[in-house]
Structure 1
Amino acid sequence: MNINVSRRGFLAGSAATAGALLVGLNAKGVLAATAETAPVTDFNPFVKIDADGTLSVVIKHFEMGQGTTTGLTTLVAEELDADWARVTTEFAPADNAKYANLFFSIQGTGGSTSIANSYMQYREAGAAARDLLVRAAAQNWGVDPASITVEKSILSSGDKSGHFGEFVAVASTLTPVEKPTVKTPDQFRLIGDATLHRKDNIGKTNGTAQFAMDVNLPGMVYAAIQRSPKFGGTVTGFDDSAAKNVAGFIAAQVLPNKAGVVAFAKNTWAAFQARDALSVQWDLSKAETRNTAKMVEDHKALLDKPQFNASPETTLDEVAPVMAGAAKTIDAEFTFPFLAHAALEALNCTIEPTKNGVRVYDGCQMPALTRPTVAKILGLEPAQVEIKTLYAGGSFGRRANPDADYNAEAALAFAVSGRKVPVKLVWSREDDMRGGYYRPMAAHRAKIGLDGDGKVIAWDHRVAVKSIMKGSLFEGMIKNDVDPTSVEGVTESLYSVPSFGIGLSDFQTPVPVLWWRSVGNTHTAFAMETLMDMLAHETGQDPIDMRLAMLDPQGASQARMINAIKLVRDISGWKKGDKRGFACHFSFNTCVAVVADITVKDSSVHVNKLFMAVECGVAINPDVIKAQMEGGAGFALTAIMRNEITLADGEVEQQNFPDYELLRNGEMPAVEVAIVKSNNAPTGVGEPGVPPTGPALANAIFAQTGKRIFDLPMTKAGFEFV
């Protein structure tokens, strides 16, 4: 199989290619170039050009389907004026210092940051490589560098021409300019090209693309784990007598952390069968034992007296006297269930012994978390843990958890296996559905105070939800005891609202929670945009006109949202009095506005079409942006219409897709996406399509039926989706 080589191997292999040119950053963060192996300790390349003219772009953000391999490659190829057909990609090795996400200061992918944080970094690397090649060609030909043009990887001057590879030997001896000149938007050839095909299309179509699940190493054994049926349980003992009757079973061991019992076998099926045959005794004294109804009740109780002030300006105590003077109030209470990530590729991780440590094969979203976690468990230094990053079949946040849980389990399984042969840990769909991490359950309560003229004078908003960050490696992001992921979307609302108070309470449960595509915005956007629709209805205003009036055009983000709203109004043909739904939301520094066109017959709802407008700065790959909006909309509809994770006596009731249904082809509406033209730096697109889709649908249902939806999924309101 074609596995990405390590950073050292990459550099050594590049140098072995006669005259290969590497362009990247040195230890001081200054652009540098080399063709030698000597600088391997202080050089991290982003660009590699071989003697045959092939351009390889080193991707520091992994690919889970969101298009980073295409986006980052476009930035380099654009500045190099490279032939798109001759550009390849390879994932960067694990190196937190050299390939850090500039927004996180650690190596990792998430938060819709890949293109936003790498925009200038990769463009400048490409521009520097172009400048080096031009100067090398000028030196070879004895011409003025200004006379040289570059097009599709060919340099030309008068009657002289040559491909990139012909000049890499000389170029690698030159010193890059400190600040290379990048193109202006009017010079873009690849950036903004809606016809540019994705770099991972062919491999994913013909089956040659390698996912972590495809790893098959000589002598490898397979592992599956029986975990506690209730969250928080620990092993007290087990009997493997029945497992010994399973063909292919090798052995079973208690994990060192006592979180489960691992069964080793000669193939995945045997590992699953042996694991299921184990009889395990559990200590459940500290486990979650509540059912869903009780947990909802406990969430709502926390709304009575919020623990923390989450508003940046106004406390709830300050809002109270203003609210007391309101001529009328709008009141609402919302509940949101636990949700599974349900990525199509089941979790898996392979660890093999090496001469100096171990090698981890994984669709690794957060190398900065995986590497030290595996090292600590195995008693190694992080430098002894090599990571081979492969494609991942989705994540939606699941692979980016602070505990690096499935990587940690693979390391624990490898530790008790004897560390002699490779061990591949595989989760079944049921494993992740019943014992994974979840979008947290949440409850909101809001009261909007209006004066006699129907204008908002006060807003009391309360949220109860388990914190994702508290107790994790990301706890440093918490300020004044407020986890920003719990209230984002409310605290960051773009609307001009006087006396806006926000209270937060942390729900406590052993049920593990995690960011889920668009994180807190998944519930805050639904609450905010439903409330805005209620406000428009109560005051007799058009939902779009009212929102535009509540956005200050002098604010940079507000102005961008205004543009998105006006664009979606235009493409949808929205008219006052429409029996359609509208919602918009600002998340990950991106503005998305949605109009939902539906048909309701009795209690059956069909979503006919969604119109979406997105303002995400300069559109690097318009086709990828549209795909992310469409995918985000489908992801949101899947969850919001019918999905929930429920517990009975602390145990998850759902097991697989039959009782946690994905959206069917016939239920997926047509989606028309329009991108606001902008030359601003790009912002996120992987997640922002999710938050406004649900409330747009809910507001459309109200427009046609007069029935508000406050509790999700929508089936609780008696609707079915066809």
Structure 2
Amino acid sequence: MAQSTRRRFLLAGAAAAGALVVGWGALPPRQRLNTAVPLALDGGAVALNGWVALAADNTVTVVVPRAEMGQGVHTALPMLVAEELDMPLARVRIAAAPPDKIYANIAAIRDALPFHPDDTGNTQAFARWTLAKVARELGISLTGGSTSVKDAWLPMREAGAAARGMLVAAAARAWGVAPDGIRTADGELFHDASGRRATYGSFAAAAASENPGDAILKEPHAFRLIGRAVPRRDARTRVDGTARFGIDARPEGMVYAALRMAPALGATIAGTNAAGVLRLPGVLSVIDISNAFSWRLAGHDGAPAGVAVVARTFWQAKTAAEAHAIRWDAGPHAELSSDGIHDDLRAALDGTEHHVYFAQGDVADAQAHGRTIDAEYSAPFLAHAAMEPVNCTAQVADGKVRLWLSTQAPSIAIGIAAAVAGVDREQVELHEHLLGGGFGRRLEGDMVAQAVAIARECRGLPVQMIWTREQDLRHDAYRPAAVARLAATLDAAGTIKSWDFIGAGGALTDHFLRRNLGLPGAGPDKTTVEGAYDMQYAIPHQRIAHAAVASAVPLGNWRSVGHSFNAFFKESFIDEVAHAAGKDPVAFRRAMLLGHPRHVAVLDAAVRAAGTPPAGRAHGVALHHSFGAIVAQVAEVSVHDGAIRVHRVVCAIDCGLAVNPGHVAQQMESAVAFGLTAALEGAITVAGGAVQQSNFGDYPVLRMGQVPHVDTVIVLSGEPPEGVGEPGVPPVAPAVANAVFRLTGQRLRSLPLRLA
């Protein structure tokens, strides 16, 4: 079979446009140290670069360009600067990043390239280098793809090291000594030969005029802070209630908006009468927000049609919105159902419109000369269901827009606000708040478009728009539903010789780009097969293909994205094939990983830590590589009266150098709870064109008593940091399903997991 990969597809497109980028591609990468406009600082602090400011009282302010949504970046990212600056973390404050391109998340865009992890050579290196330059030019700041620490690893360390160098140079000049005779520690400068010492703060102004030169980074053996389990700096505020989330914004004069949104996908307003609503207590206005996304491309799948009721209190607004008499036109999807959607996905598997993302060898020939096992797996749509419901506070006044918002994508939010209000981006002022959960939902800008559209009509008053939990679940941008057929061929020795994977589902990148950037998706979507085309089991004959199916259901990024279902398909089927071959599932995996010692080490670490299950329980194993990290999980499971109970999960991870091991353990625990909720309970269903789930009663999350004990094993690594926030999610479902099979003999091939 001839090789046909998306890598070739993309590079062919790049070649066609080569004349446009030749001169530009030869330019050196742009710097990421200094902003185009100097940082705006309070209290007499002096900016030493775009990331670090120093005050005379010897406190440091570090610019943190990523959203804090529970993953610990408000601790981990300042650690990178404090380490290289030799500054106690207790003396470090944080500030949100201004809209400057040096804070762009380059790793998130660069890592979108569909290279197989085993691809090496100049082609991959050039493509990654080129896309990194594109990302730098675009300047998109976002928190996603488990890239916060990964992207900041060099620029924030370099910023700290450059600032330290400037302070040393200033002290050397003032003391008339050689810079190499000065050492730094705990925010102070020392010249041991003369006995001089001074705080950093005393040299802040002088250091600002020094040339930073080349930043000299510490070797890992010299780290004093990086690699330590440092307590989260925001833990106290979350416990005592002083932490401020988007929903806590309270600008002076603020009023509230509640919504009535179309009950079904694609439904529109056929008629309305606001007269009675306007007479209700506290109501100020009723605003049609159906066209909040009208500036986007035709065929967008943005915020649904609806109206907003603005009132003095949220309860008044919500009560009035619920009383509003609206007639709805059902629209083009009135007959849409989950059964019909899955029929379409299966029909796509039967068709011929498949894009082959990775191929090697000759699968058809291998299948003709061995025993083939095949199976079909499926996964449903999923909602994000973050604890903080969707909200946005906006004010449009004097030609400017002010936003108070929990967002994962500030540059996207600013662009949407500017477009809806009809102002330049520079006229949008964003106040970022903590996120009460993100999981990809707050990469979206629908709430921004709606809030700004409402605020335009409110005569300069700030308006806080809040969705109810029901609206949050019924108007999400969902994790795609997916179906896959897998076939593996065994030789006489029980070794896999061929692997054939064909999946079908919606391509979410096109939805996201149209909805949030007004851009069409181009080419096949990597997210549909990530975790399938890039597996690292050594199988000589492979074909991994996908059929993209148009989706009337809005699709978006969900924690671990395509890995969340493709890991279930792959790792469940690997177990299935191991059983058919009469092999131990761990030994079966290990035999296919001889060229990947890091994967073997992670697998062995998890199995070793899990030990032997108690009587009446079984262990299930899964191994998956996502977002640069390798995770193996062993789930300890029992089954009673048809109910699946997960008692313990051992999670081993190689994420490169663990900047804060405590955060890594917390993220694994979070990922297990999140993934297990989806594995046992999660499903969004559609009937009559409408999402059926409405609250935690029919879209439950794991309760504390159901959360298993999680043991995290961090496998030591000398590699740079990789992702942590998402890699713990994908292995959960297959590990549990594989344990259930060992207990019951039932092979569960659909999510959520249900025993017959």
TM-score by length of 1: 0.89
Q: After the TM superposition, which residues 370-449 of structure 1 pair with which residues of structure 2 at under 5 Å, given as runs?
A: 370-401=413-444, 404-415=445-456, 417-449=457-489
User: Which aligned segments of 4 or more residues in structure 1 are displaced greater than 4 angstroms?
Assistant: 7-10, 474-479
Partners of 1:220 and 1:279 lie apart in 2 by 26
Asked if 1 retains the 8 angstrom alpha-carbon contact of 2:356 and 2:546, the reply is yes
Look up the equivalent residue of 1:519 and give its one-letter code.
V
Q: Equivalent residue of 1:312, what SS? A: strand
Report the number of matched residues. Answer: 673
**Given residue 522 of structure 1, which amino acid in structure 2 is its aligned partner?**
S
Evaluate the alpha carbon distance shift between residue 519 and residue 471 of structure 1 in structure 2; reply closer, same or farther with a 3 A threshold.
Answer: closer
- Residue 363 (structure 2) aligned to one of 319, 334, 343: 319
Distance in 2 of aligned mates of 1:625 and 1:527: 26
- Offset at 1:245? 5.2
Query: C-alpha displacement at 1:560, in angstroms?
Result: 2.3
- Tell me by how many angstroms 1:494 deviates: 0.9
Contact 1:249–1:265 under 8 Å retained in 2: yes
Q: Which moved more, 1:558-567 or 1:488-497?
A: 558-567
Alpha-carbon distance between aligned partners in 1 of 2:469 and 2:708, rounded to the nearest angstrom: 27
Shift of 1:9: 11
Checking the alignment, whether the CA contact within 8 Å between 1:330 and 1:448 is kept in structure 2 is yes
1:681 to 701, 707, 720: 720
Counterpart in the other structure of 1:13:
41
Q: Offset of 1:630 from its aligned partner?
A: 0.8
2-structure distance, mates of 1:563, 1:309:
34
Counterpart contact for 2:683–2:752, Cα < 8 Å: yes
Asked whether the 8 Å contact 2:389–2:469 carries over to 1, the reply is: yes
Provide closer, same or farther for how the CA distance between residues 324 and 311 of structure 1 changes in structure 2, counting only shifts above 3 A.
farther
- Quick one: which of 181, 189, 200 aligns to 1:164? 200
- Counterpart among 48, 70, 82 of residue 53 in structure 2: 48
CA–CA separation in structure 2 for the residues paired with 1:427 and 1:156: 56
Letter in 1 for 2:73: T
Whether contact under 8 Å (2:48, 2:207) holds in the other structure is no
Q: Look up the SS of the partner of 2:359 in the other structure.
A: coil
Superposition deviation, residue 242 in structure 1: 4.5
SS of the equivalent of 1:713 reads coil
User: What's the counterpart of residue 100 of structure 1?
Assistant: 104
**Which deviations, in whole Å up to 9, do the C-alpha atoms of 1:664-714 show, x marking residues without a partner?**
111111111011111211000010000001111111111111111111111
* Cα distance, 1:592–1:206 mapped onto 2, change above 3 Å: same
SS of equivalent residue, structure 2 residue 404:
strand
What aligned pairs does 1:282-681 form with structure 2 within 5 A after superposition? 282-314=328-360, 319-326=363-370, 328-401=371-444, 404-415=445-456, 417-473=457-513, 481-553=523-595, 558-573=596-611, 579-681=618-720
1:399 Cα deviation after fit:
0.9
Amino acid across the alignment from 1:174: E
Partners of 1:467 and 1:340 lie apart in 2 by 16
**What is the alpha-carbon distance in structure 2 between the residues aligned to residue 180 and residue 505 of structure 1?**
48
What is the CA-CA distance between 1:507 and the residue it aligns to? 2.2
Among 268, 275, 281, which residue is 2:327 paired with?
281
SS of the counterpart of 1:392?
coil
Shift of 1:314: 4.6
Distance, in Å, in 1 between the alignment partners of 2:352 and 2:628 is 28
- Residues in 2 aligned to 1:702 and 1:163: alpha-carbon distance in whole angstroms: 63
Match of 2:4 in 1: none
- Partners of 2:643 and 2:400 lie apart in 1 by 58
Mapped to 2, the partners of 1:368 and 1:169 lie a distance apart of: 32
Q: What is the identity, as a one-letter code, of the residue corresponding to 1:521?
A: H
Task: State the Cα RMSD in Å.
Answer: 2.2
CA distance, structure 1, for counterparts of residue 652 and residue 402 of structure 2: 44
Distance 1:121 1:384, change over 3 A: same
**Counterpart residue type for residue 183 of structure 1:** K
- Taking the aligned partners of 1:706 and 1:100, their CA distance within structure 2 comes to 50
Hey, what does 1:87 align to over in structure 2? 92
Change (3 A) 1:306 1:665: farther
Relative to structure 1, the CA distance from residue 419 to residue 505 in structure 2 (aligned partners, 3 Å threshold; closer, same or farther) is farther
Q: Which residue of 2 aligns with 1:248?
A: 282
Q: Distance in 1 between matches of 2:583 and 2:40?
A: 66
Asked whether the 8 Å contact 1:124–1:182 carries over to 2, the reply is yes
8 Å Cα contact 1:449-1:456 kept in structure 2: yes
Distance change in 2, residues 1:234/1:420 (3 Å): same
CA–CA distance in 2 between the matches of 1:11 and 1:99? 13
How far apart in 2 are the matches of 1:247 and 1:189?
A: 60
CA distance in structure 2 between the partners assigned to 1:53 and 1:377 by the alignment: 43
- 1:321 is displaced (CA, Å) by 4.1
How much does 1:298 deviate? 2.1
Where do 1:167-316 residues align within 5 Å? 167-177=203-213, 179-194=214-229, 196-244=230-278, 246-255=280-289, 257=291, 259-314=305-360
2:604 partner letter: K
Q: Between 417-426 and 388-397, report the one with greater CA deviation.
A: 417-426
In structure 1, what is the equivalent of residue 30 of structure 2? none
In 2, Cα distance between equivalents of 1:306 and 1:90: 52
Counterpart of 1:42 in structure 2 is none
Structure 1: runs of 5 or more not aligned: 1-6, 25-44
Task: Give the TM-score, by structure 2 length.
Answer: 0.86
Sort the Cα spacing of 1:625 and 1:285 in 2 relative to 1 into closer, same or farther, 3 A: same
Aligned mates of 1:135, 1:202 — CA distance in 2:
38
Contact 2:51 2:156 in 1 (8 A): yes
Question: Structure 2 vs 1, CA of residues 356 and 155 (structure 1 numbering), >3 Å: closer, same or farther?
Answer: farther
Q: Could you say what secondary structure the match of 1:460 adopts?
A: strand
Deviations 1:215-262 (A, max 9, x none): 111221211221111111122321224434542222212125172111
Deviation at 1:604, TM superposition (A): 2.7
The structure-2 alpha-carbon separation of the partners of 1:505 and 1:164, relative to structure 1 and needing over 3 Å to count, comes to same
CA distance in 1, matches of 2:520, 2:325: 42
Equivalent residue for 1:144, pick from 157, 165, 178: 178
Q: Distance in 2 between matches of 1:260 and 1:604?
A: 41
Give, in whole Å, the separation in 1 of the partners of 2:210 and 2:511: 49
Deviation at residue 382 of structure 1 after TM alignment: 1.1
Query: What is the DSSP-based 3-state SS (H/G/I as helix, E as strand, rest coil) of the residue aligned with 1:374?
Result: helix
CA distance in 2, matches of 1:274, 1:571: 57
User: CA 1:306/1:595 → structure 2, altered by over 3 Å: closer, same or farther?
Assistant: farther
1:263-295 Cα distance to aligned partner (Å, 9 max, x none)? 111111111111111122223232353222222
The DSSP-based 3-state class of the residue aligned with 1:339 is coil
Name 1:30's counterpart in structure 2.
none
Shift in Å at residue 477 of structure 1? 10
Give, in whole Å, the separation in 1 of the partners of 2:63 and 2:650: 36
Identify unmatched segments of 5+ residues in structure 2: 1-34, 110-134, 293-304
Task: After TM superposition, give the deviation of residue 471 of structure 1 in Å.
Answer: 4.9
SS in 1 for 2:513: coil
The amino acid that maps onto 1:513 is: L
**Judging changes above 3 Å, is the alpha-carbon distance between structure 1 residues 483 and 566 closer, same or farther for their aligned structure 2 residues?**
same
SS at match of 1:470: helix
